[in-house]
Amino acid sequence: MRKAEDTVEHYQSLYIGGTWRPAESGRTHPVINPYTEQVITNIPAAEAADIDQAVAAATEALPSWRQTAVGTRIELLRRIAEILAERTDTIAEIVSADLGVPLAEAKSTQVGYPLRTLAGFISAAATVPWQERVGTSVVVQEPIGVVGAITPWNHPLQQAIAKVGAALVAGCTVVLKPSEFASLGVFELTEAIHRAGVPAGVFNLLTGPGSVAGSALVEHDQVSMVSFTGSTTVGRRIATAAAATLKPVSLELGGKSPSVVLDDADLETAVTATAARCFGNSGQTCAALTRLLVPRARLGEAEEYAKAAADKLVLGDPMDARTTTGPLVSASQQARVRAFIESGSAEGARLITGGLGAPIPDRGFFVAPTVFSDVTSEMTIARNEIFGPVLSILPYDSETEAMRIANDTPYGLNAAVWSASAERAAAFASHIESGLVGINGGRVNLNAPFGGYKQSGFGREFGAAGIHEFLHTKCVNFTIPDGYWPPA
Ligand code: NAD
């Protein structure tokens, strides 16, 4: 078993055609620990020449990779999962250092979720109808080709695996461009892919700022599809750029998810769980429940429960076991979230706890967990994805109004509904415009389709649906019912 330091050696390198090597230009990008504010290392800043080489390697590897048996690809995925699992503690430390997430949370969400997602692909691959007979036709699922995968920093390994695991098992080759922030965990994935014995060129890693490396990948005419997770703003740019070569795009974008507490719900449970799903990962989660809708008659109680949930969080060193809430990923993210908090107060929202005056550690890019009440749908904090630890409470007077507020957002990723009757909650949920909805605390299922409505994007990840994103359907039509497929 190799040691953690072995992967550190590769932080200055791109992985192209099965080999680690620096960017052609020699340019790098600093990775900063958001708690110590010190540079951890410098990663290569890939540019067009590197992208060309990575895409060429992926293109060359495609013909033989797409012919491998699905069982072989599943076995390789299993091996990758084993290697990652063996290194859980090391990877959690790495992600904790470059993202700022507390170590215990890193183990469960930043390593545990990716492993469960990989396990989901392994079992789902066996259920894909790779070949089906429809009358005199054979309907075949074929890999889409070379995939350009672009991912964000907030769940670095999870977002990479959601694309890479599914694309590889589908028979595609991949060029991955993770975020320029918090991408060190992705080097671990790359090393695991290498050690598992995935053939050279099947997977390639390019790091560096998105405006250069990301856009060159999207525009490349040898890239057959782009799978993107990130902000709605960049998603829109990617869809526009991909239109030039008419390549399919899958977009997993932002959210502003409502948590609707119906009048018969257990208010304390609902508010406490909503706050936990708002403040986890310091609020840097696309599916975070950031708008809490409560009956106006119970607003005061809801504020108390939300305040209690926020105030018990412990900000500090992510490596300290007592810490529940780490810093935000970067100084610019901290400034952005602080500006949203200012706008909340300026537009008349009532600060319940937290805010810019609340104590925070003297170093690190922290924002205190913040709760606003009397928030209305028109306010900036209700309309925009803040991506920080800020919960908005919006009172409602009737169920009809609650529904209107819940859907009054350009986003549609996640939602929650709480009621004493799961049936009543499910009936309400059927009118919510979002790709996911949790009933009475139901959590995201890493084997079931994940994705958004409206400006939260299109396409689905995880499980069989995630694999399907990387497949083309071919219909082979015969004149006789028993056809000749596959060809001899
Ligand atoms: P971002 O959009 O700034 O960046 C995402 C990726 O795109 C990065 O790798 C970046 O380098 C790259 N990029 C930037 N400009 C580009 C361009 N012009 N062309 C190609 N690539 C480009 O997002 P972020 O700040 O890294 O992540 C936070 C966002 O991601 C939030 O909006 C969050 O909601 C979203 N997100 C969505 C999901 C989901 O599944 N729906 C999951 C996690 C995060």
What contacts 209, CB < 8 A, 6 or more positions away?
29, 45, 180
Pair of tokens at residue 173: 């080759």
* pLDDT value at residue 3: 47
Q: Tell me whether residue 487 is in a domain.
A: no
Q: Give the tens place of pLDDT for each residue, 350-363.
A: 999 999 999 999 99
Regarding whether 344 and 220 lie in a shared domain, the answer is no
**Structure tokens that stand for 158 in this block:** 């999870």
Query: Do residues 220 and 356 share a domain?
Result: no
Nearest CA to ligand 1 atom 34: 254
What is the pLDDT, as a whole number, of residue 483? 65
Helix (H, G, I), strand (E, B) or coil at 141: strand
Mean pLDDT lowest among 46-50, 51-55, 419-423, 483-487: 483-487
Total Cβ atoms within 10 A of residue 320: 12
Residues 156 and 261 in one domain: no
Name the residue of 231, 329, 413 to mutate for ligand 1: max ligand atoms within 8 A of Cβ: 231
Is the minimum distance from the CB of 411 to ligand 1 under 6 angstroms?
no
Quick one: 463 and 389 in the same domain? no
Q: How many domains does the chain have?
A: 2
Is 385 part of a structural domain of the chain?
Answer: yes
Does the beta carbon of 219 sit less than 6 angstroms from any atom of ligand 1?
no
Nearest C-alpha to atom 23 of ligand 1 is from which residue? 230
- Whether the pLDDT of residue 8 is over 80: the answer is no
Q: What is the pLDDT of residue 488?
A: 63
Label residue 5 by pLDDT band (50, 70, 90): low
Q: What is the pLDDT of residue 480?
A: 76
Query: How many angstroms separate the alpha carbon of residue 354 from the centre of ligand 1?
Result: 27
In angstroms, the CA 9 to CA 25 distance is 19
Catalytic residue ranges: 252
395 by DSSP, 3-state: which?
strand
Tracing tokens 């009956």 back to the chain, one arrives at: 295
Together in a domain, 396 and 412: yes
Question: Mean pLDDT across the stretch 298-317?
Answer: 98
Averaged pLDDT score across all residues of the chain: 96
Same domain as 168, residue 47: yes
Does the Cβ of 153 fall within 6 Å of ligand 1?
yes
What pLDDT is recorded for position 2?
A: 41
CA of 211 to the centre of ligand 1 (A): 11
Compute, in angstroms, the gap from residue 231 CA to the centroid of ligand 1: 4
SS (H, E, C) 249-293: EEEECCCCEEEEECCCCCHHHHHHHHHHHHHHHHHCCCCCEEEEE
In a domain, 82, yes or no: yes
User: Rounded mean pLDDT of 19-34?
Assistant: 95
| Residue 444 placed within a domain | no
| Within-domain flag for 482 | no
For 311, residues 6+ apart whose C-beta sits below 8 A from its C-beta are 353, 369
Shortest-distance Cα residue to atom 21 of ligand 1: 214
Tell me, yes or no, whether 423 and 460 share the same domain. no
Q: Which domain holds residue 53?
A: 4-253+456-474
What are the pLDDT digits (tens) for 85-126? 999 999 999 999 999 999 999 999 999 999 999 999 999 999
CATH of the domain at 27: 3.40.605.10
Q: To test ligand 1's pocket by mutation, which of 109, 154, 461 has the most ligand atoms within 8 angstroms of CB?
A: 154
Q: What number is the average pLDDT over the span 316-325?
A: 97
- Looking at the structure, do residues 320 and 355 belong to the same domain, yes or no? yes
Tokens read off for 401? 């109004």
DSSP 30: E
What is the predicted pLDDT for the residue at 479?
A: 87
**Closest by Cα among 5, 10, 445 to 193:** 10
Rounded distance from Cα 461 to ligand 1 centre (Å): 16
pLDDT at site 1: 36
The answer for 345, left when phi > 0, alpha when psi is -120 to 50, beta otherwise, is alpha
Of 140, 92, 144, the residue nearest 115 (C-alpha): 92
